[in-house]
Amino acid sequence: MGERTEALLRIPLGIFYGLVLNVLGIVVGVLWIFLFLYTLILGKRHRGAAEFMNGYVSLMYRVYRYISFATNERPKLSLQPVESLNF
């Protein structure tokens, strides 16, 4: 695929990725409050919530790299984190 076609394809993909990230961002915002209170009360992090939030931030990083023309590799919609959490 040529660079011009790839650049034009980023417009609808950017809208789609933006919608997905916004919906997930709302979930992560609510989850952050839960994780804050959970950690404050129990003194430890909830592993599942922390891994979900880590995956969201990794997805956001991959999408921003693609949309900003830093890479031509289209991001997969997976919450696979860039790096693992330390528990």
Q: What is the mean pLDDT of each run of 10 residues along the chain (87 residues)?
A: 87 95 96 96 93 94 94 89 76
What single string gives the DSSP state of each residue in 19-34? HHHHHHHHHHHHHHHH
Q: HSE (CB half, 13 Å, CA atoms) of 76?
A: 6
Q: What is the pLDDT, as a whole number, of residue 13?
A: 94
Q: So what's the pLDDT on residue 81?
A: 83
Domains of the chain: which residue ranges? 16-87
Identify the pLDDT of residue 44. Answer: 94
Predicted confidence at residue 6, as pLDDT, reads 86
